[in-house]
Amino acid sequence: MEVRLVHLSKYFGEVRAVNDLNLEIKSGEFVALLGPSGCGKTTTLLMIAGIYIPTEGEIWFGDRIVNDLLPKDRNIGMVFQSYALYPHMTVFENISFPLKLKKVPMAERRKRAQRVADMMQIGHLMDRKPAQLSGGQQQRVALARALVKEPDILLFDEPLSNLDAKLRLTMRGELKRLQKDLGITSIYVTHDQVEAMTMADRVAVLRDGRLQTFSTPDDLYNRPQTLFVAGFIGSPPMNFIDATLVQENGKVVVKAEGMRIELPDELGKRALARAKSDRVVYGIRPEHVHLDPEGDIEAEIYVVEPLGREDLLDCRLLGGSVMGVLAPAGQPVGPGDKVRLRFEAEHSQLFDPETEHTLLW
C-alpha cells in the first residue's frame, strides 16, 4: 500500500507540531521518520494511524483519502515503545484480539495466531500473561499482534528503545528481514539515527515539525541536504567551519583562518554556481580528516577521546576552530602536540549560511 502525506499539518493550540509535511512512501517501502524529540515524528505517525486528526492536509492510502477513516478501518498494524500489550489477556488472546474484532471464526483465529507466533518464535508462550514475559518476548508478542491481521501498513513507534542494547541489535536485524520478507509498507519512528540508517530504505528527517530531507541512508550521510541533517546524522558529528569561497588560479578554494582547501573541479563549479555570496559553511566528517605529516593544515591536539576501535582527536586549527579527527586507535599524540592534518577534499560539504541548504547536491 502506497502512503502519501499531502500538505499535512497538526497544530496543538499555537504549537505547530507538524507543519506542511509532504511525503510519498512507495508500496513495500521501509521508511524511517527520524528526528530529535518534539520534532513531530510521533504526531505524524499517530495521524497516519488515525489517532490524531490532522488540522490541515490529507493522508492518502493508495488512491483513497483516509482522513475520516477510523483507526479500526485503516487496516494498519502498530507496535508501540511500551509494547502496549493487554495485561488482562493471555499471549494468545493478545495476538488474536484483532482477529476477534474482525469476527474471524475461532478455529481460524487459532491457526493464524499460532502461525504468526511461531514466526516470531513465541509459539510456546501462548498461555502466558504478558507480565510473565521478558521484554524481548513482549516485543515479539506486540509484533505478532500487529502482523496477525495482515495489515496493509505497519507503524512502529520507537519499538526497540525499551530493549537492552544487545537485544536491540538482534531485533533490528530481525525486523528488517521480516519487513523485506512480508513486503508490508512500514513507517518507523525513531530518534536513533543508527536504527534509521541501518533499517530503512529511505529516511525522512524532521525538525520542528518540518521535513528536512527525505532520502536514502546513503544520500543522507554522504550528500546531506541541509546543515541540520549534516550535523544530526553521523557520530561523531560532522565538523563545521565558517569559511569563504574564492577562486584562485582557476581552482575553487575554501578558506578560513589557518585552513585552505582546494575543492575538486566538479564540486567547486557546482558550489560557485549556487553560492549567493562568498560566505559559506564548510563541513567535513571526522573520518575524512587525517593526521598526516605531509598535510598542509597545522593544528594542535586539544583532547584525545579513545573510542575503542578509533581515537577521536579534538584538534585546534590556527584560527581557533576545533576539528574532530577520527584516527586509528593508539595514536602517539597527546594534548598540546602540534600535528598536521590532511582533508579529503572530495568529501567536503558546503552550505549556504543563510538558508542552511547545501550548495553541492
Partner 1 sequence: MTQQTVTAQVTPHMDVSWRARLRRFTTPAFFTGPAFVLVFLFFFLPVILTILISLTDMSVATISDIKFVGLKNYIRIWRSRTTWKILRNTFIYVGFTLTFFNVGLALVLALITTHIPDRWGTAFRTFWLLPRITPSVIYAIMWTWFTADAPYGIVNQFLQIFGVEPRNWMSAQPWLVVIAANGFVGASFGMIIFTSAIRSIPVDFLRAALVDGASTWQRIRYVILPMIRWPILFVVSYQTLSLLASFEYILLLTDGGPGFYTTEVWSLHAYHRALSNYFGNVQFGYGAALAAILVVIGVIASVIYLRVFRFNEMVAEPKIEVI
Partner 2 sequence: MTEHAGSRWIQVFLIILVALLCVPLVVMYIWLLEAAFAKQTYGIVPSGFTLSNWRFLWEGFKNMPSIWRITFNTLVFAAIVTVAEVFFASLTGYALSRMKFPGRRIFLSFTLVLHAFPAVTLLIAIFYVLLVMGLYDTLLGVILVKAALELPLGVWIMKGFFDGISWDMEMSALVDGCSRFRAWWEVLIPNIRPGIAALSIFSFLSGWSEFLLPYIFTSSFENFTLSVMLRRLIGDFRFVDYGLLTAAGLYYMLPVLIFFIFTQEYLLNIYAGGTKGTQI
The residues of the shown chain that bind partner 2, judged by CB under 8 A, are 46, 49-51, 70-72, 74, 76-78, 80-88, 97-98, 101-102, 145, 149, 155, 157
Collect contacts of 132-138 with beta carbons under 8 A, ≥24 apart. 133/91, 135/162, 135/163, 135/164, 135/167, 136/163, 136/167, 136/171, 138/83, 138/85
Q: What burial letters (b/e) apply to 154-168, b meaning 16+ CB within 10 Å?
A: bbbbbbbebbeeeeb
Closer of 23 and 299 to partner 1 (Cβ): 23
DSSP character at residue 276: S
Closer of 65 and 101 to partner 2 (Cβ): 101
Residue 65 makes contact with partner 1 by CB under 8 A: yes
Closer of 65 and 303 to partner 1 (Cβ): 65
Query: Which one of partner 2, partner 1, none is in contact with 337 (Cβ closer than 5 to 8 A by kind)?
Result: none
The three-state secondary structure class of 292 is: coil
Measured torsion, CA atoms of residues 39, 43, 49, 51, in degrees rounded to the nearest 10: 170
Residue 226 makes contact with partner 1 by CB under 8 A: no
| Per-residue interface string for the shown chain with partner 1, residues 68-97, x marking contact by CB under 8 A | x-xx--------------------------
The three-state secondary structure class of 13 is: coil
DSSP character at residue 45: H
**What crossing angle do the helices spanning 106-119 and 135-147 adopt, rounded to 10°?**
130
Closer of 95 and 339 to partner 2 (Cβ): 95
Q: What cell numbers appear for 289 in the block?
A: 580528516
Task: Select the residue interacting with partner 1 from 19, 137, 186, 215 (CB under 8 A).
Answer: 215
Query: Which one of partner 1, partner 2, none is in contact with 119 (Cβ closer than 5 to 8 A by kind)?
Result: none
Query: Which one of partner 1, partner 2, none is in contact with 57 (Cβ closer than 5 to 8 A by kind)?
Result: partner 1
Residue 212 beta carbon to partner 1: minimum distance, rounded to whole angstroms: 11
CA-to-CA distance for 357 and 189, rounded, in angstroms? 24
Chain residues that interact with partner 1, rule: CB under 8 A? 4, 6-7, 12, 22-24, 50-53, 56-58, 60, 65, 67-68, 70-71, 211, 213-216, 219, 225, 361
